[in-house]
Amino acid sequence: MLRKTTLNIIIFLFISTLLLTGCNSINPKNLNEKTVVSSNNNIKSRLTKYMDRYSSKNEFSGSILIAKDDEILLNKGYGTADYNKSIPNKPQTTFEIASLTKQFTATAILMLQEQKLLNVNDKLSKYIPDYPDGDNITIYNLLTHTSGIPEYLNYVDSIDTENHNLAYTPEELIELFKNEPFDFSSGTSFEYSNSNYILLGYIIEKVSNMKYEDYIENNIITPFKLTSTGFLSNETTSKNKSIGYYFINKH
């Protein structure tokens, strides 16, 4: 979630793990250790110069980790995490990932399918019997943004992202867009809509008998030891959290 500021820059805050692989097949037997070290040092130098130049223009702010094989080539923070407090970004800084959360939701759906608790070909009406045209909308349509269900943000008057004072239950969110006109007939086109993933989160809760956050925590975050990953409801425990910013009058 993003907040406005009077700064004249945009900060795209995210954590990236980039694995660099060679374009050509190389036989390790043909390389000695000095050659490998020299090659990696050259890559490190180029990466550092590139990122320093890029970030100096305020075109990137965040943390980046780049590794090749077992060696870390770049692990550094750029820009500022909090301008009011003059806190710089560091490798340990955590960021709000916004719609990248959808990847966790999709993974949870596929996990539930593996457990035979649902199927991506299930109709939406199986989980919400009175949903309009629910017999023609599948979980697959929700996953792939091909349901035609309109964007719920168009029907939200205001969301206080600064203090999180305004909160909706999944049922309340669904009611915001449930009876609104479809953008197109299910399966006939594609249009990105957050409403699809609101419905998927609801299905996860209904099938698993767990809150969405608890299911993700117990089945993804904890088993895979994602120690720097969590939910905004737990943000008070985060010591290195960043703040997101918009472009304002950039020249």
3-state SS assignment for residue 11: strand
Q: List, for residues 36-78, the tens digit of each pLDDT value.
A: 556 788 999 999 999 998 888 878 889 999 998 889 999 999 9
Report the pLDDT value the prediction gives residue 241, as an integer from 0 to 100: 87
Structural domains of the chain, ranges and CATH numbers in brackets? 15-94 (no CATH), 98-227 (3.40.710.10)
Strand partners, 74: 66
Rounded Cα–Cα distance for residues 156 and 176 (Å): 7
Tell me the residue length of the chain: 251
- Residue 114: CB atoms within 10 Å: 8
In degrees to the nearest 10, what's the CA dihedral of 74, 76, 79, 85? 180
Q: List, for residues 137-185, the tens digit of each pLDDT value.
A: 999 999 999 999 999 999 886 454 444 455 788 999 999 999 999 999 9
Task: Evaluate the CA torsion angle 208, 211, 212, 217 in order and state its sign.
Answer: negative
Rounded Cα–Cα distance for residues 154 and 150 (Å): 8
